[in-house]
Structure 1
């Protein structure tokens, strides 16, 4: 059996990611405390909902920070993969929390819409404007890493949706100040909540697929098997498993029947050819191949273990 590792990713700037997360955590703690106090004083549900969302931002950023640190820990004999999945778990938790918060906001918005209350709009305007600036800065800090890391993407989405929510709250504050239309506060809260569900759902599905060891959607197993079977000397590729460990590692394990009882050195040559195909065409950088010759086992592509 051969176990091959080919790393395709560059060294991540973990310390920089950690620093950016800490800055964002501090900013969001300040925003959350300010908005809770301001929401209570002004009577604005939209401001309080934004504060609640900011509080989930703080929690999600702390989770992301811890996961980022854990993911760098070395593997050991009882943790052979180390903590490489910590960031995927963080992404799942953060996405789920976005959706839960959104559902709570929808319930409160409906209640408030039925009984709109007068709101101190000046406080709403100033606090939402400050939140836009702070969250906007945090979004810029995390944007680059969000493109390549699911954990950072979950933190980035929390901050981006909160910045958008603050923009909505600011618009609502201006409408209430100049037109005294107080039911707009509940409508904006509802819009914010729906937007949270929209942003969180894809990330929740993506992180769930990774945690459940599902084959990545872009991978066609039957196509891979057909291409490997076409290599000279190979009779059959079967018992295939393909899964994503994290953003950087895509794993494959399989059994391969050979037409002849070849030497181990000959197998190594074929193995290099298989590994090259898997990596260059499908970006599979960890392959575990079990060679066989006339072994009596199930030859199905997918076998229930």
Structure 2
């Protein structure tokens, strides 16, 4: 993919210069806007290539969750750029219509826009394959990708003051991210009857690049059509009208991209996943030794294939904290949820969440980031 992206970017940049020159010479808004958009295509391709590479970088001490969200960030940026470009084109088209400026040198305009269409079709063929190639249709395929995020750092800290007649403070935390297969809460067949239309591995980064190239292709086609209409009808207003139509299409196609990428950046949990999580949390409350749970927070991992999170569990008085921790972790992993669990004793109010100190408030702070 990297080589094809670089080749398409070089081709786009070279032809952008040609389009900008002839757009200025022929005074065609369609060709000028197409060249400007092609310039942003080159930027989008560069940013998209960087995002695709960076998303594969391993987690570090500074970025413990890795760089998976950088593709969503790239898609969000591309979507915002597309919206701004479409608004600028519509404003310019309105001004051109009001002025009634004449489009010149129609034959050269037709040839250049036709070549531009050919260049964009090459880009469509390339990125259309990458954009749609990760989309599994509406069939039910049951492979669960729930790998448990590869590094194992099991911090189990418990401090019990044995010199006293009572345990004044005792909690256990666990983050056992072993590399093993697990069911996924994202595809829980028994939880409810909602219909999920396929398992999509598509990402906003490739979608943003594809929309850029698609918008360029539509722009070139619009310039060709408007040039033919100007030649036969004799009215130059077809050029800004075609540009305005394409700008509206770009705007409408960019809104879903911005919304979906923004939701991922904000760590929003989809409704169906939240439904399954609530059922899973209800099961946690039924585990032996569990009095309640507090402050559960969940988000989707990279590629939306794993649910990650943190939560506090309040253990009943007299129960073994390590046993409660093990049971809770095993239950959550069986449901495809990879969670850092903090266990504390009922009545111990020293934790910041305040759950053990007032267990009546527990189970009410369900948050899905």
Does residue 274 of structure 2 align to residue 274 of structure 1? no
Q: Tell me the residue number matched to 1:157.
A: 211
Stretches of structure 2 that go unaligned for 5 or more consecutive residues are 133-201, 347-355
Q: Tell me the residue number matched to 1:209.
A: 263
Does residue 121 of structure 2 align to residue 136 of structure 1? yes
Q: Tell me the residue number matched to 2:170.
A: none
Stretches of structure 1 that go unaligned for 5 or more consecutive residues are 1-15
The answer (yes or no) to whether the contact 2:299–2:368 under 8 Å persists in 1 is no
Does residue 310 of structure 2 align to residue 256 of structure 1? no
The answer (yes or no) to whether the contact 2:68–2:303 under 8 Å persists in 1 is no
Match of 1:186 among 215, 224, 240: 240
Question: Residue deviations 1:211-242, cap 9 Å, x none?
Answer: 22333344325x52333323543543431222
Distance 1:209 1:57 in 2: 24
**Could you say which structure has the larger radius of gyration?**
2
Taking structure 2 as the reference length, what is the TM-score of the superposition?
A: 0.69
Distance 2:251 2:128 in 1: 20
Q: What SS class does the counterpart of residue 273 from structure 1 fall into?
A: helix
The answer (yes or no) to whether the contact 1:225–1:237 under 8 Å persists in 2 is no
Distance 2:75 2:303 in 1: 12
The answer (yes or no) to whether the contact 2:297–2:368 under 8 Å persists in 1 is no
Question: Residue deviations 1:16-46, cap 9 Å, x none?
Answer: 3x22321221121122112101101111101
Distance 1:194 1:245 in 2: 34
Taking structure 1 as the reference length, what is the TM-score of the superposition?
A: 0.83
User: How many correspondences in the alignment?
Assistant: 282
19 and 251 in structure 1: CA distance in 2 versus 1, 3 angstrom threshold = farther
Distance 1:37 1:74 in 2: 44
265 and 94 in structure 1: CA distance in 2 versus 1, 3 angstrom threshold = same
Q: 1:171 deviation in Å?
A: 1.0
C-alpha RMSD of the superposition = 2.5
Q: Tell me the residue number matched to 2:341.
A: 289
Q: 1:246 deviation in Å?
A: 4.0
Does residue 111 of structure 2 align to residue 123 of structure 1? no
Q: What SS class does the counterpart of residue 75 from structure 1 fall into?
A: coil
212 and 263 in structure 1: CA distance in 2 versus 1, 3 angstrom threshold = closer
Distance 1:217 1:41 in 2: 53
The answer (yes or no) to whether the contact 1:23–1:138 under 8 Å persists in 2 is no
Q: Which of the two has greater helix per residue?
A: 1
Question: Residue deviations 1:55-112, cap 9 Å, x none?
Answer: 1111111111122222222322223234333222211111110011111111100000
Distance 1:105 1:76 in 2: 43
Q: 1:265 deviation in Å?
A: 5.0
Q: Tell me the residue number matched to 2:199.
A: none
